[in-house]
């Protein structure tokens, strides 16, 4: 009888625990303001990829037009593209009063540029007040005043890592949404990896087939899992396959990118991933950057398409969590 009572009480405790946990999850979910994102497909090297870029809705306060920005954590600063954005200033003089082009406080692709000071904007329905963003001069698709209409959506810039400083960024790839939190419950951080954040760049420690390396996480890269220099990639790719060559364009520069299958095992924190492809190029600037940064290369979104990813920029932690929201 005592044994049966013991199991009965244990069952009650488990039920109560589950109910409490479920209620906690529901309460947490209600407090979150989600920012939806859409995948932008593209044909690259003759192949169509349905998820190479993550686009989030963007709107400037006081401006009725709708825009999109690419979420790119590989970019250290949030920016608008000069060729697209500058004609908008002629329509909205008040917006032009926020121009700060004298102090070239930002460096983009090796160039010092100005920006916008103390502006307010929205990513989907989430408001960001009194922010500074860069203007990437002479970059992006050219626009005219008549292109800005309430029935169109124009791609106007990039959301960089600076927007999430000292926050917890949750990227729910399964439901195409992301959120900014002040913190996570401690139990959710179990098994997450300690990361380095240097100049806004997120460096994640990984164990690849027993070798410990750092990878730069870049949400602007989605059609492969890992990117590295050709000097390194033979150790990680399937060398029995002839690699494909794709011509790609990044930040206005066109170059060849090699693509190969892989059978490696990647461990990050307590999670193990099995990416299907790895990419590389032979360009010296990229190789030199990887060496200076102390990284093997870049890690894109492809490994996380069926996961909920957490990047805790306040406590410098990185990992995946269960589907609890």
Name the DSSP class of 88.
Answer: H
Q: Please state, in angstroms and rounded to a whole number, the distance separating the CA atoms of residues 120 and 63.
A: 11
Are the C-beta atoms of residues 317 and 205 closer than 8 Å to each other? no
Which pLDDT value is given to residue 184?
A: 86
Which pLDDT value is given to residue 74?
A: 86
- 111 lies in the same domain as 220: no
- 205 lies in the same domain as 270: yes
pLDDT per position as a tens digit, 66-100: 999 999 998 889 999 999 999 999 899 999 999 98
Q: For residue 219, which phi and psi values (nearest 5 degrees)?
A: -70, -10
Q: Please state, in angstroms and rounded to a whole number, the distance separating the CA atoms of residues 241 and 220.
A: 27
- 311 lies in the same domain as 191: yes
- 151 lies in the same domain as 275: no
In a domain, 30, yes or no: no
pLDDT per position as a tens digit, 156-194: 999 999 999 999 999 999 999 999 999 988 888 888 999
Name the DSSP class of 21.
Answer: H
Q: What percent of the chain has pLDDT over 70?
A: 90
Which pLDDT value is given to residue 28?
A: 55
What is the helix, strand, coil percentage profile of the chain, to 5? 20, 45, 35
In a domain, 178, yes or no: no
In a domain, 4, yes or no: no
Mean pLDDT of 35-51: 86
In a domain, 19, yes or no: no
- 207 lies in the same domain as 152: no
Domain final residue pick, 110, 130, 164: 164
The helix or strand, by DSSP H or E, that contains position 26, with its residue range, turns out to be helix 2-31
In a domain, 290, yes or no: yes
- 309 lies in the same domain as 192: yes
The helix or strand, by DSSP H or E, that contains position 271, with its residue range, turns out to be strand 271-273
Domain final residue pick, 130, 164, 198: 164
Q: Please state, in angstroms and rounded to a whole number, the distance separating the CA atoms of residues 250 and 147.
A: 25
- 150 lies in the same domain as 231: no
Name the DSSP class of 295.
Answer: -
- 266 lies in the same domain as 159: no
Which pLDDT value is given to residue 249?
A: 75
What is the SS3 assignment for 199?
Answer: coil
- 239 lies in the same domain as 308: yes
In a domain, 21, yes or no: no
Mean pLDDT of 20-49: 73
Mean pLDDT of 130-156: 94
| The token pair that represents 306 in the structure block | 């069926």
The helix or strand, by DSSP H or E, that contains position 80, with its residue range, turns out to be strand 79-81
Q: Which residue has the higher pLDDT, 122 or 8?
A: 122
Q: Where residue 275 sits, what CATH number does that domain have?
A: 2.40.70.10
pLDDT above 80 (res 136): yes
Number of domains in the chain: 2
In 3D space, the residue among 153, 154, 109 whose CA is nearest the CA of residue 134 turns out to be 109
pLDDT above 70 (res 4): no
pLDDT per position as a tens digit, 184-198: 888 888 889 999 999
Range of the domain at 150: 35-164
- 114 lies in the same domain as 235: no
- 148 lies in the same domain as 244: no
In a domain, 20, yes or no: no
C-alpha distances out from residue 145 to 83, 95, 148, Å: 12, 14, 6
- 144 lies in the same domain as 199: no
In a domain, 172, yes or no: no
Domain final residue pick, 164, 195, 227: 164
């Amino acid at each position: 009888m005592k044994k049966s009572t013991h199991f009965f009480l244990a069952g009650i405790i488990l039920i109560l625990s589950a109910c409490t946990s479920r209620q906690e999850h529901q309460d947490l979910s209600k407090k979150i303001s989600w920012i939806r994102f859409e995948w932008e497909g593209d044909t690259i090297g003759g192949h169509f990829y349905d998820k190479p870029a993550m686009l989030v809705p963007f709107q400037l306060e006081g401006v009725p037009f709708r825009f999109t920005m690419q979420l790119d954590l590989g970019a250290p600063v949030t920016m608008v593209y000069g060729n697209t954005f500058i004609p908008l200033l002629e329509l909205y003089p008040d917006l032009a009063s926020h121009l700060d082009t004298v102090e070239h406080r930002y460096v983009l692709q090796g160039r010092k540029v100005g920006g916008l000071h103390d502006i307010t904007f929205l990513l989907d329905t989430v408001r960001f007040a009194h922010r500074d963003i860069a203007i990437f001069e002479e970059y992006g698709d050219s626009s005219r005043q008549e292109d800005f209409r309430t029935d169109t959506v124009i791609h106007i810039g990039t959301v960089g890592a600076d927007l999430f400083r000292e926050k917890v960024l949750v990227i729910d790839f399964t439901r195409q949404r992301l959120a900014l939190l002040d913190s996570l419950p401690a139990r959710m951080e179990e098994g997450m990896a300690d990361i380095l954040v240097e100049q806004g760049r997120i460096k994640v420690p990984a164990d690849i087939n027993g070798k410990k390396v750092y990878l730069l996480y870049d949400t602007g890269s989605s059609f492969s899992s890992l990117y590295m220099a050709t000097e390194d990639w033979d150790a990680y790719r399937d060398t029995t396959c002839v690699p494909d060559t794709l011509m790609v364009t990044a930040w206005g520069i066109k170059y060849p990118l090699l693509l190969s299958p892989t059978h490696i095992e990647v461990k990050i924190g307590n999670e193990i991933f099995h990416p299907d492809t790895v990419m590389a190029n032979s360009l010296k600037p990229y190789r030199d950057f990887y060496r200076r940064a102390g990284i093997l290369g870049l890690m894109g979104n492809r490994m996380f398409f069926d996961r909920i990813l957490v990047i805790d920029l306040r406590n410098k932690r990185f990992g995946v969590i269960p589907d609890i929201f």
